[in-house]
Amino acid sequence: MIHRFAFPTTIHFGAGARALVVEHLKAQGIKRPLIVTDRGIAPLPMLKSFIADLPG
């Protein structure tokens, strides 16, 4: 049996790219995004700042 999985994606990176996430979520109608992380990243100020900018 042959299976195919295609997952086209666009990756934005560089200074200020994080700010584009909120615009993208709004354009997609996403109001409560799921953030998956680990114990090492979860307490970082960068992540807390990112989450504060998200809708929901």
- The tens digit of pLDDT for each residue in 23-44 reads 999 999 998 999 999 999 999 9
- On whether residue 1 sits in a domain, the answer given is no
Predicted pLDDT of residue 53: 87
35 neighbors 52 (Cβ within 8 angstroms): no
CA distance linking residue 35 with residue 28, whole number of Å: 16
Predicted pLDDT of residue 54: 87
Predicted pLDDT of residue 14: 95
Predicted pLDDT of residue 5: 87
- Give Cα 10 to chain centroid, integer Å: 12
- On whether residue 38 sits in a domain, the answer given is yes
CA distance linking residue 15 with residue 39, whole number of Å: 25
Inform me whether the pLDDT recorded for 19 exceeds 90: no
- On whether residue 21 sits in a domain, the answer given is yes
- On whether residue 2 sits in a domain, the answer given is no
22 neighbors 55 (Cβ within 8 angstroms): yes
- On whether residue 48 sits in a domain, the answer given is yes
- On whether residue 37 sits in a domain, the answer given is yes
Domain count across the chain: 1
